[in-house]
Chain A
Amino acid sequence: MEQVSVFTAFQASDLWFLTEAAGRTLLISVLAISIGTLFGCVFGWLLSVGRGLADATLGVFLDVFRSVPLIIQLILFYNFFPIIGFNLDPFASGTVVLVLYTSALVAAVARGGIDSVPEVTRRAARSLGMTYWQDLRHIVWPIGLRAVLPSWTGVALGVLKDSALVSVLGYVELLRASQILMTRTQEPFVVLIIVGMFYFALSFPISRLSARLEKRWQYD
């Protein structure tokens, strides 16, 4: 009788499988980062405007997301949604948790950005006849953005990497795909190296780009 091996070696078609998975990693991270940044900016503005009251309510709420491991948050929410009657799939609940997590991180960054704009600058803007929103759009945004862009990139990169944790819920992104391949090929070293390169290829250009932007913005 011919012997049949249960395992098959790593092959070229697996690279496509990983590329697809990398696309899903990118999808969930881009969703989380864009929506999370939007919410985070609003939260940051609320924190900056609300001072003590906002710190005691919103601030504490957001702080929880920064003080509890993401993996615990994911499992907790994944098991919480059915309790309140929503049966969300891994992708949806993963996205919701990542959005909340991102917005909590961005809120702190955004608040720092708003607070970094000197009070006198803003008063000058208002005394030149700008409305509150004009001041926010044309004065606070450009100045604050420069101050916190590096921290924001750090958050975005962190979320890109932390999206790997959604794999525990069963969403087949890059890391989950690597687990599937490791089980099939029994070549964990090769698979992990390749997946590591995928992650590196996703995050390294962003960190380089931000470093360059940071340098260019410093001198003008």
Chain B
Amino acid sequence: MDYTFHWRPVFRQLPDLLEAALVTMEVAVLAMLVGIVLGMLLAIIRMSGRRSITWIATTWIELARNTPALLQLFFFGFGLGAFGLHLSPFLIVLAALSFNNAGYLAETFRGGFTAVPPTQKKAALSLGMTLPQTYLRIIIPQVLRVVYHPMTNQMVWSVLMSSLAMLVGYRELSGETQFLASKTYRIFEFFLVTAVIYYVMVKLILGGSRLLSWKLFRY
């Protein structure tokens, strides 16, 4: 082994890397939020049973689930250029991740809604609850219980997938690492530190979600 490790350039740039990690978190969380809203919409559309609109949801879901995330990213990055749509790197990443998250979450939500028996809704209504009350106090809490863990996993995936952003020139954690690595030629060292940062981020998300689940699902 005639390779000498040089860690100093990495540690000198550590603040930059940590800042980039925040950017990663930011874009992953944003994509997750957009994904939740869109995914909920897709799930509702798919369950509505109206042929004229369900095909949109079905196409979206199957495309998001059956093509690589990287291809989706390239599509939003390069493919939309055919329509004269040139997004900024941030928007490319956000759009692609949201598209992907929405596709996966839609199926999760659909599973969650079907897990709640329809009699629950009827019972709540017959007890004199209004429809919003029924949803807010009876249905949603039960759905949340079912979709909570898949959603946590999706959040982790969102963070991991955001690393693809380096291939469209967005400077989040991976992009920043690649930039710094090519500047200093310490590729292995830089990417090892980045791997550690990702690992810690994922563990923080999982730990945080476990803490939250204790608070949410006490009963």
Instruction: Spell out A's residues near B (CB within 8 Å).
Output: 64, 67-73, 75-76, 79-80, 82-85, 157, 161-162, 164-165, 167-168, 175, 178-179, 182, 187-190, 192-193, 195-196, 199-200, 203-204, 207
Contacts and interface: CB of A to CB of B under 8 A. Distances in A.
A84 B198 CA distance: 24
- Chain A interface mostly: helix
A72 B198 contact: yes
Given A69-B163, A79-B187, A199 B81 contact: no
Interface of B: 1, 3, 62-63, 65-71, 74-75, 78-83, 156, 160-161, 163-164, 166-167, 174, 177, 187-188, 191-192, 194-195, 198-199, 202-203
B70 A165 contact: yes
A175 B68 CA distance: 9
Contact of A68 (B1, B67, B69, B195): B195
A76 B195 CA distance: 9
Contacts, number: 109
Given A64-B199, A83-B3, A161-B68, A204 B62 contact: yes
Contacts of B174: 69, 71-72
B116 to A, nearest CB: 20
Given A76-B188, A83-B1, A189-B81, A199 B163 contact: no
A192 B198 CA distance: 29
Contacts of B160: 67-70
Nearest to A186: B81
Contact of B198 (A69, A85, A190): A69
Nearest to B196: A68
Contacts of A187: 82
A213 to B, nearest CB: 18
B199 A67 contact: yes
Contact of B188 (A69, A83, A168): A83
A179 B194 CA distance: 26
Contact of B191 (A70, A72, A188): A72
Contact of B63 (A68, A157, A167, A196): A196
B201 to A, nearest CB: 9
A207 B65 contact: yes
A131 to B, nearest CB: 37
Contacts of B82: 187-190
A196 B67 contact: yes
A168 B1 contact: no
Contacts of B203: 67
A144 B64 CA distance: 29
A190 B78 CA distance: 11
A21 B152 CA distance: 35
Given A67-B203, A188-B82, A192-B71, A199 B188 contact: no
B21 to A, nearest CB: 12
22 contacts: A67-B156, A67-B203, A68-B202, A69-B163, A69-B164, A71-B166, A72-B191, A72-B198, A76-B192, A79-B187, A79-B188, A82-B3, A83-B3, A157-B66, A164-B71, A179-B74, A187-B82, A189-B80, A193-B79, A196-B67, A204-B66, A207-B65
Closest 4 CB pairs of A and B: A189-B82, A69-B163, A188-B78, A164-B68
Nearest to B166: A71
